[in-house]
Structure 1
Amino acid sequence: MRPSERVEEAGLGLADIPSDRYRMRIPTDRYTSREIQENERDLIWMRVWQVVGRVDELPEVGDWKEYRLFDQSYMIVRGKDREIRGFVNACRHRGNPLCAGRGNSKRGFLCQYHLWSYDLDGKLKGILREKALDPVDKDENSLLPVRVECFAGFVFLNPDPDATPLTEFLGDEIPKLLAPYRLDEMVTVLDVREGLDCNWKVVVDAFSEGYHISGIHPELLKVIDIDPSKSRHLFLGDHSVSVAPFEVANVSVFGPEDQVEGIRELPGTFPTVTTVLPRFEELVDVHRDENGKLGFPEGVTARTLLQQATRDTLTGMGLDVGALTDAQMSDNHGWVLFPNFFMTIRAGEATVILATPDPEGDPGKCVWHISSYMWLPPEHREAFRAEPTEVEEPGSFPYFLALQQDYEQMPRQQRGLRNKRLEHMTLVKEEIVIAHYHSVVDRYLAGAEDKV
């Protein structure tokens, strides 16, 4: 079995998962308690690998960015040897922060308080009026290093100096399953950060299930069929990946023209489908008679034509999709990498949602970071690359429809979770990924995990 077939062929269906495998009642104080959030800080966030950006955010020597986690601040920088490193964002003299936001410092870092300086490797290299002072051991007073590693084009950071390697945290299967997508070659086409009035786990939960589509995204029901019995799930240690095969709504009832019209409506919710529509229309026209009437032979549907159009379009652009299945041309795989990384990915594109706790520690707030990536020919990447957007005025950024609906729903849920008599949420089988995710949260909060 090829890695690209693993989820489709070996993933568990809902009927294969015992009802008692995970607890289906999640306590609501997990979303509202400051004490629990403080425990999460110590037992989860300060111990696990977490995505802090993309490798291509730091293309040049000296490029750096700040990463804030609660009241902690880290700096990630590309050194003269092209390696990306992480450091605690504090001068070793009196603790003054060295940087804020992002920028470039080819010559290293200069503390603005007392003018101590450090090179891009974090080594202390200059001290104001050094000759007039008592000797200072520069090796012992270099910047404090932080574990940083890269995978699939993402930069991961772990605050724990004793952390095991990222490869152990991810496990053996995840790199194999993601490799055929060439995620490291994709370019960022959307990059938005905004504060939300909800707990960070509300965001993770919201994107870990499709059970809400009928209520929050009803327009999707006009174009896609929701059949939970066909979903497949792989639980990979602390992480998971799921797929719900995409099919045009009412394909068994509606004729070919209705199926095709369903595909044409997809860009309203999945904008990147626009790229493959010209080839899709060419493939559709092959099946029209001299009067223009459309008829599909056995084995051909709008789904199969969309898959072929996607494969043809991406291949024509220069992307080798030979290791991806036909289903991966149309079906989004939903990834949850603990603790806060959600990604949908299919051939040629991916969307990532990161939710981090409120920097001030308010359990009713978080920061969400949504980014989208596309595979494009190298000569077109810079033209489509998106600059980071920090949304200062809530509600001012124009998300596409489905994302806007989730954006409005999550704070509503947080308001409901504050009700004192609501002691727990009750999950259903379609929300099994949420149940698995919270079983991992349980283990970390119980202290049963070694540092990872």
Structure 2
Amino acid sequence: MSNKINLTEEEIAARSPAYSYQDLLDQETNEVPEALRSDTATYLGSEDLDIERWTSRAFHELEVEKLWSKTWQMACRESQVSKPGDYFVYDIVNQSVLITRTEAGELKAHINSCLHRGRALKRGQGKNAKELRCPYHGFTWELSGEFRGMPCEWDFAHVKEENFSLPGLRVETWGGWVFVNFDQDCMPLEEYMGILPEHFQRWPAERRYVAMHVEKVINCNWKAAVEAFIESYHAIHTHPQLMPYQGIDNSQYDVWGDNVSRTITTYATINPSHEDQYSEQDSLDSMLGVEGEPEKDNVVEGRFSARHRFAELNYEAYSEMNGVDLKSFATEAEVMDSILYLLFPNFAPWAGYHTALTYRHRPNGDDHESCIMDIFLLNPFPEGTERPADAATVRLGANEPFAKAVDVMGEGLANIFDQDGANLPQVQRGMKASGKGTITLANYQEVRIRHFHKTLDKYLNA
């Protein structure tokens, strides 16, 4: 089913009638980086998308065959495999990848399966491994994947050491993250990432540690979960508590090439369609009161005074955290706004000098109607100081709310994700029941979803 209609140029180019994000950047006193000045204003069509993309088992199996076997996927942080003998297991659908740090300090990735009878060699993550020994029969490999031997070698004259290495994957790193790709002929990670490394030169993700990691099962297709975080439009009704201090209506949406897109949403500004409901003082009070009762901090009169005041507070806090005077060069945008990228298919890092969230969504095993959402909170630390230890992972089941992790997430963040979590299973339920058989997207505010599916189609149709 298609929703092809003829649009005028004005309809295609329609944007929020309020000030744009670029207009807001014009008020900055420090030089605005080119990464933030980029404004792609892309139109990718208005056609409906078929519901089966999210509900069909056959569509899921096509993704297993042609998507997950061909794309670069974030597997873990480098800090989890930083020393010789460290290992980490990354699972995607029915595949399992064993990432190791060899004695020579080299990063390796192999299929996590014994070549004898197929048992998984490792689970989870660990340290100080000297070898990869199968717990079932004792077949053993070096950390680099070369075969070392097995008990009763006399019974395996047909097994030749030089032909019994563990099958390897491509493995590369960026920003403190480890990426893997099953396709040995894939393009290098840096090329695959397009403009993303250039943009992040200003905000190096490797200069951060994991201050929080929550992993949760959600009862919806993985793509439905990705899509909830590549548009801000839903916040108007899903997160009404944000309206005093987030500019949702006039968020900026950008796409580059096949693999990169971005949403920028302002903080400490009243949502434009709610400006008649809140004052600048309301905006600041709401922003400061995210975790409970607000601390009173009066704003001076004038438009965007809450934004300027909140920026002052953030300059102070994040300058200390980064170990550098941010106010001397960083924009207000970089110390408060939501600048959220997506690297296809499922790696979504925030940018800036503040604390930065990063999301990942993937199928929950081989189930096309549930997924695993990872939420990382990355904090900067001053150069020349010891990297703080990464936080332990908190795991939540499908029926456990994010509120159960409130001790690590904070009340405000847990509440926001629980609001999203209430939507997503019902999105899956509603799509399966759809009499229409398609979904309809906004031309601008949901352009990243359309961009995502156009890239997905390139893999599935290859």
2:416 to 402, 419, 432: 402
Q: Determine which structure has greater relative contact order: mean sequence separation of CA pairs < 8 Å that are 6+ residues apart, divided by chain length.
A: 1
- Does the alignment pair 1:340 with 2:368? no
- Does the alignment pair 1:176 with 2:198? yes
- 1:237 corresponding residue in structure 2: 258
Greater alpha carbon shift after TM alignment, 230-239 vs 216-225? 230-239
- Does the alignment pair 1:155 with 2:178? yes
Q: CA deviation at 1:105?
A: 4.5
Report 1:108-187 matches (<5 A): 108-130=131-153, 133-134=156-157, 136-171=159-194, 173-187=195-209
Question: Quick one: structure 1 residues 259 and 88, their matched pair in 2 at CA, closer, same or farther if it must change by over 3 Å?
Answer: closer
2:232 to 210, 214, 230: 210
- Does the alignment pair 1:390 with 2:413? no
Question: Quick one: structure 1 residues 106 and 440, their matched pair in 2 at CA, closer, same or farther if it must change by over 3 Å?
Answer: same
- 2:16 corresponding residue in structure 1: none
Q: CA deviation at 1:118?
A: 1.0
Residues 231 and 263 of structure 2 are in contact (CA less than 8 Å); yes or no, is this contact kept in structure 1?
A: no
Q: CA deviation at 1:409?
A: 0.9
- Does the alignment pair 1:433 with 2:448? yes
Question: Quick one: structure 1 residues 222 and 314, their matched pair in 2 at CA, closer, same or farther if it must change by over 3 Å?
Answer: closer
Q: Deviations over 1:331-368 (max 9, x none)?
A: 111111101122333323211221111312x2211122
Could you tell me how far apart the structure 2 residues matched to 1:246 and 1:164 are?
37
Could you tell me how far apart the structure 1 residues matched to 2:32 and 2:363 are?
33
Could you tell me how far apart the structure 1 residues matched to 2:39 and 2:108 are?
36
Question: Quick one: structure 1 residues 40 and 261, their matched pair in 2 at CA, closer, same or farther if it must change by over 3 Å?
Answer: same
Could you tell me how far apart the structure 2 residues matched to 1:41 and 1:267 are?
41
Q: CA deviation at 1:99?
A: 0.9
- 1:52 corresponding residue in structure 2: 75
Q: CA deviation at 1:212?
A: 0.7
Question: 1:265 corresponds to which letter in structure 2?
Answer: G
Could you tell me how far apart the structure 2 residues matched to 1:3 and 1:128 are?
66
Q: CA deviation at 1:97?
A: 1.7
Question: 1:244 corresponds to which letter in structure 2?
Answer: T
Q: CA deviation at 1:381?
A: 5.1
Report 1:243-282 matches (<5 A): 243-249=264-270, 257-267=281-291
Residues 117 and 126 of structure 1 are in contact (CA less than 8 Å); yes or no, is this contact kept in structure 2?
A: yes
Could you tell me how far apart the structure 2 residues matched to 1:250 and 1:112 are?
57
Residues 4 and 323 of structure 1 are in contact (CA less than 8 Å); yes or no, is this contact kept in structure 2?
A: no
Q: Deviations over 1:127-182 (max 9, x none)?
A: 223367527421211111111111011111101122221112112x2111112212
Question: Quick one: structure 1 residues 224 and 266, their matched pair in 2 at CA, closer, same or farther if it must change by over 3 Å?
Answer: farther
Q: CA deviation at 1:220?
A: 0.8
Residues 218 and 425 of structure 2 are in contact (CA less than 8 Å); yes or no, is this contact kept in structure 1?
A: yes
Say which SS state the counterpart of residue 382 (structure 1) adopts: coil
Could you tell me how far apart the structure 1 residues matched to 2:35 and 2:48 are?
27
Residues 200 and 351 of structure 2 are in contact (CA less than 8 Å); yes or no, is this contact kept in structure 1?
A: no
Say which SS state the counterpart of residue 31 (structure 1) adopts: helix
Size of the aligned set, in residue pairs, is 417
Question: 1:306 corresponds to which letter in structure 2?
Answer: F
Question: Quick one: structure 1 residues 255 and 93, their matched pair in 2 at CA, closer, same or farther if it must change by over 3 Å?
Answer: closer
- Does the alignment pair 1:311 with 2:285? no
**What TM-score comes out, normalization by structure 2 length?**
0.82
Residues 7 and 241 of structure 1 are in contact (CA less than 8 Å); yes or no, is this contact kept in structure 2?
A: no
- Does the alignment pair 1:352 with 2:358? yes
Could you tell me how far apart the structure 2 residues matched to 1:324 and 1:257 are?
24
Question: Quick one: structure 1 residues 250 and 95, their matched pair in 2 at CA, closer, same or farther if it must change by over 3 Å?
Answer: closer
- 1:423 corresponding residue in structure 2: 437
Question: Quick one: structure 1 residues 159 and 268, their matched pair in 2 at CA, closer, same or farther if it must change by over 3 Å?
Answer: farther
Could you tell me how far apart the structure 2 residues matched to 1:207 and 1:26 are?
18
Q: Deviations over 1:190-212 (max 9, x none)?
A: 21222221000001111111111
Could you tell me how far apart the structure 2 residues matched to 1:231 and 1:268 are?
29
- 1:288 corresponding residue in structure 2: none
- Does the alignment pair 1:12 with 2:40? yes
Between the aligned residues of both structures, percent identity stands at 25
> Aligned-residue CA RMSD in angstroms?
2.8
